[in-house]
Amino acid sequence: MRGRCRAGLVLSSLLLCGAAPAPAPAPAPDQETTDLPPVIAPGGQTLGSPHRGGTLRLTADAGAGTADPQINYNSEMITIDVVVYDGLTTFAKLPFSASNHPVADLADALPAPQDGGLTYVFHLRPGIRFSNGQPVGVRDVVASFQRIFKVNSPTAGGFYGGLVGADACLKDGAHCTLAGGVIGDEAARTITFHLTHPDAEFLDKLSFPHAYVLPADTPARDVGNDAPPGTGPYRIVSYDPNHGMLLERNPYFHVWAADAQPDGYPDRITYSYGLTDEAQVTAVENGDFDYMYDDVPLDRFGELGDRYTDQVHINAIFGTFYLAMNVNLAPFDNLKVRQAINYAVNRRAMQTFYGGPAAASVLCQNVPAGLPGYVSYCPYTKGADVAHPAAQWSAPDFARAQHLVDESGTRGMHVTLVVPNRAVEVAMGTYLQNTLRRLGYDADVKPIAFAIQFTYIQNTNNKVQISLTDWYADYAAPSDFLTALFGCENFHPGSDSSVNIAGYCSKPVEDVLNRAALVSVTDKAAGDALWAQADRMLMVDAPAAPLIQFKKIELVSKRLGNFYTTNLYHMLVSQVWVR
């Protein structure tokens, strides 16, 4: 996923990501924060707590697009949806890296896989109601999974394409039944899922917000600004993407699983849109808002570190910046050129542009640190090569890069680097343009509005040669950085939803990726080794140049207490105190 537009293993779906932009939540690697662990309400109950009540005031530069939880792929909206909706399973609402793992939510337990990983049977908890008072039944669960395909959810193919019957649904969403794939038994309150092949990440995918359970009568179309009822502690009372959002308590909510959906502290949550990131910082510093969703601009880091230290929270996440090189367009159809770029880029400079070592670390491979399959090594740095990698990155090897460009015979070609038009990326782009020029290319930089750049660079019709983008994990798995970004199935020529931006498809690598996914079902260690092998193979072919792994820097108001962050959802808005 990129920016505000989450994207994971997406990708057979052809739907565009949500329109609005911005940084997104992601599972953090190892706990890396200066914060004390937040206080967790006993049993998930906040009733009777002196901290219960008040209004939590959030701000962002713009609304996050549709309020349809099965369509919106924007982390700004997802951070709200997680306290409004529930799925059969969810990522634990526990602090930091404890939130990487699925737990039972509307289902009363996580089932063990049956039939060699092809079948999962969930039992639906009784006594849960939607915020309109309607009870949650098996029919709602089955209908919600059908609706994923009916509304052409961005993850329909990538996450749920492995269900029996999904193929037909992907071809004809309007008449999707998922026959044989999702079977409900109202009397027994069970839902049975049948897969076409074992999937070690199936529970992760079920925990993803697009699998939320909605009332069965929810229209099979994008509901726009009219958010459907949910089961979480809050309900969306009003939403206008141009102005703001109001959430109030769900009168029908009760705690059924503290780690899945605890009760909320604030009585009301408001979201106000329209302030620039600079203005948001000032507003939060002044106490006009409690939390700013957007990234803190780099020029404000100094004052935050000096005067607002207690209000700043730095959390490591699985977020990376990388250069995607189109392997089907010159000059990047030449392996030597792609390797030359990897040798030439100054990753330390990229780290500087993002805010220095406190905000980012140099990244030498596609899988970020902290994920299974990550191995610390650096094949493209001074004094190293793919056969003899260094332990860590030291400096660019420009001489070798120029030698490779000479061998490729591409010197002098015109190259356009496409970057988002935010200050950080433009600064990186300007630097990289200079690098390309020093390598002998006639290079220019094309900044494109952040909201559309990510879809623009995916579409092969735009003939993008090389682009700079960020990517966040949807859940803590290496496949989200390998299969998603370099898998053949995720390359869709002519589509805006082709997250394999490099257009890379290699049978040997694909075989290893598939084997890694399969082996991980039964042998996680062996699976991790295969992910690492796939990553090394990708570094040799170099369809991308990994640059940095960055952290999420969050600013809150002075009055906000119990800052509660999960790896996937940033600040958990239901668990912070505002009184």
Residues that bind other proteins (CB under 8 A): 34, 297-306, 309, 312, 314, 346, 348-349, 352-353, 355-359, 423, 427, 430-431, 433-434, 437, 444-447, 553
**Which of 359/401 has CB closer to other proteins?**
359
**Which of 312/521 has CB closer to other proteins?**
312
Rounded to an integer, what distance in angstroms lies between the CA atom of residue 497 and that of residue 13? 7
- Residues 184, 221, 473, 105, CA torsion sign: negative
In whole angstroms, how close is the CB of 285 to other proteins at the nearest point?
12
In whole angstroms, how close is the CB of 412 to other proteins at the nearest point?
15
DSSP-derived pairing of the beta strands 102-104 and 466-472: unpaired
CA 75 to chain centroid: 7
Tokens linked to 357:
């070592």
In whole angstroms, how close is the CB of 198 to other proteins at the nearest point?
44
Rounded to an integer, what distance in angstroms lies between the CA atom of residue 195 and that of residue 143? 18
Q: Return the CA Rg of the chain.
A: 23
**Which of 252/431 has CB closer to other proteins?**
431
In whole angstroms, how close is the CB of 570 to other proteins at the nearest point?
18
Specify the 3-state DSSP secondary structure of 570: strand
In whole angstroms, how close is the CB of 467 to other proteins at the nearest point?
15
**Which of 76/554 has CB closer to other proteins?**
554
**Which of 58/349 has CB closer to other proteins?**
349
**Which of 258/281 has CB closer to other proteins?**
281
Q: What is the DSSP string of 96-159?
A: BGGGGSEEESSBSSPPPPBTTTTEEEEEBPSS-B-TTSPBP-HHHHHHHHHHHHHTT-TTHHHH
Q: What is the DSSP string of 529-560?
A: HHHHHHHHHHHHH-SEEEEEEEEEEEEB-TT-
Rounded to an integer, what distance in angstroms lies between the CA atom of residue 80 and that of residue 67? 10
In whole angstroms, how close is the CB of 70 to other proteins at the nearest point?
36
- Residues 299, 303, 306, 308, CA torsion sign: negative
**Which of 386/427 has CB closer to other proteins?**
427
> What is the 8-class DSSP label of residue 87?
-
Tokens linked to 173:
């969403």
In whole angstroms, how close is the CB of 305 to other proteins at the nearest point?
3
In whole angstroms, how close is the CB of 297 to other proteins at the nearest point?
7
**Which of 352/365 has CB closer to other proteins?**
352
